[in-house]
Structure 1
Amino acid sequence: MNDNQKDNNLQFTQVKAYSVYHGPNDPCPPIGQKYYSTPPHLYLGFQPPNLEQFPYKEALQKGTLWKVFYDFYDNPYKARG
């Protein structure tokens, strides 16, 4: 596996969902799906050398220098429109 293939393997899903179990005798209405976010460093292991970096001003706004560690939070419960 060459370095380009390794970089392509860094793809992951940040937002995951699961269905909450609703029992037949549960008096509450079903919740449906719950969502949670996983941080990017879980999928990376050790930090490889020569990672692509944000420009310094943008890195201060995003909270990280390296693009692979950037984790944008989007509220899945927020109404789209």
Structure 2
Amino acid sequence: MTFRHGRPLAAYYYLPRTEGQRSHRSRRMEPGLVVDFDEQDRPIGVEITAPTLLTLDAFNHALTTLGLEAVGDAELAPLRAA
């Protein structure tokens, strides 16, 4: 989580990846979400550009669109605490 003037500015949600995997390209998805993909076009992480506006439904929609499992509210709890 990155803060500016005491407010959350951005966060990053790491997806399962192998050692050495790097971002090759990015794609905007839900408002406030940017997904990073490796060279084989596998999602490796999600940049959360508007953490205070993110909903669990929007985040899970992005994950399931990518073929990943939805997460529970506990996964985003650090965003709520900020």
Could you say which TM-score interval applies, normalised by the shorter chain?
under 0.3
Higher strand share: 2
Q: What is the TM-score with the length of structure 1 in the denominator?
A: 0.26
